[in-house]
Amino acid sequence: MNPLHAKSYADQAVQRTVEIVENARLAKDTYRVRFKAPEIARRIVPGQFLMLRITDLNDPLIGRPLALYDTVVEADGRPEAVDVVYLVKGKLTSRLWQMQAGQRVDVWGPLGNGFCQEPGTRGQEPGARNSTTHHSPLTTHSYPPIPTEHLIMVAGGIGQTPFLALAQEALHRKRYGEPPRDMPRARRVTLCYGARTAEYLACVEDFQRLGVEIRLATDDGSLGHHGLVTDLLQQCLAEHHGRPHIVCCGPEPMMAAAAKIAHEARIPCQVSLETPMACGVGICFTCVAKIRQPDGSWDYKRTCVDGPVFDAELVEW
Ligand SMILES: Cc1cc2nc3c(=O)[nH]c(=O)nc-3n(C[C@H](O)[C@H](O)[C@H](O)COP(=O)(O)OP(=O)(O)OC[C@H]3O[C@@H](n4cnc5c(N)ncnc54)[C@H](O)[C@@H]3O)c2cc1C
Ligand code: FES
Q: Does one domain contain both 35 and 131?
A: no
Least distant ligand from the CA of 300: 2
User: Which pLDDT value is given to residue 1?
Assistant: 55
* Ligand of minimum distance to the alpha carbon of 87: 1
Task: Tell me, yes or no, whether 136 and 262 share the same domain.
Answer: yes
Pairing between strand 288-292 and 298-302? antiparallel
Average pLDDT of the chain to the nearest whole number: 89
Judgement on whether residues 195 and 307 belong to the same structural domain of the protein: yes
104: domain range? 14-111
- Whether 3 maps to a domain, the answer reads no
Domain assignment present for residue 88? The answer is yes
Q: Tell me, yes or no, whether 218 and 261 share the same domain.
A: yes
Ligand 2: lining residues by beta carbon, under 6 Å? 277-280, 282-287, 302, 304
Q: Show which of 84, 111, 138 is a domain's final residue.
A: 111
Phi, psi of 256 (to 5 degrees): -65, -40
Q: Are residues 273 and 183 in the same domain?
A: yes
How many folded domains does the chain comprise? Answer: 2
278 Cα nearest atom in ligand 2:
1
The span from the CA of 77 to the CA of 80, in Å, is: 9
By C-alpha distance, which of 50, 13, 57, 46 is closest to 33? 50
Whole-number Å distance, alpha carbon 13 to ligand 2 midpoint, is 14
CB 236, CB 246: distance < 8 Å:
no
Last residue of a domain, one of 45, 78, 111: 111
Binding-site residues, ligand 1, Cβ < 6 A: 49, 60, 64-67, 84-87, 89-93, 158, 161, 274-277, 308
The last residue of one of the domains, among 87, 111, 135, is 111
Atom of ligand 2 nearest to the CA of 302: 4
pLDDT digits (tens, 9 = 90+) for 241-275: 778 999 999 999 999 999 999 999 999 999 999 99
CATH number of the domain residue 90 falls in: 2.40.30.10
Q: Is 70 domain-assigned?
A: yes
Specify whether 179 is located in the same domain as 74.
no
Q: List CB contacts of 271: < 8 A, sequence separation 6 or more.
A: 247, 248, 249, 255, 258, 259, 309, 310, 312, 315
Instruction: Tell me the pLDDT tens digit for each residue of 96-139.
Output: 999 999 999 999 999 999 997 543 333 333 333 333 223 333 33
Instruction: Report how far residue 303's alpha carbon sits from residue 288's, in angstroms, rounded to the nearest whole number.
Output: 6
Query: Does residue 291 carry a pLDDT above 60?
Result: yes
> Do 18 and 99 share a structural domain?
yes
Query: Which atom belonging to ligand 2 lies closest to the Cα atom of 305?
Result: 4
Q: Is residue 118 part of a domain?
A: no
**Rounded Cα distance, 248 and 254, in Å:** 9
Longest dimension (CA), the chain: 53
Same domain for 274 and 190?
Answer: yes
Atom of ligand 2 nearest to the CA of 277: 1
Q: Has residue 286 been placed in a domain?
A: yes
Ligand nearest to the CA of 255: 1
Instruction: Clarify whether residues 234 and 293 are in a common domain.
Output: yes
Q: Which ligand 2 atom is at minimum distance from the Cα of 287?
A: 4
Distance 202 CA to ligand 1 centre (A): 17
Residues 200 and 237 in one domain: yes
5 belongs to a structural domain: no
In a domain, 119, yes or no: no
On whether residue 34 sits in a domain, the answer given is yes
Do residue 100 and residue 144 come from a single domain? no
Asked if 102 and 166 sit in the same domain, the reply is no
CATH number for the domain harbouring residue 188: 3.40.50.80
pLDDT on residue 241: 73
75 CA from centroid of ligand 1 (Å): 34
Give 145's pLDDT tier (boundaries 50, 70, 90).
Answer: low
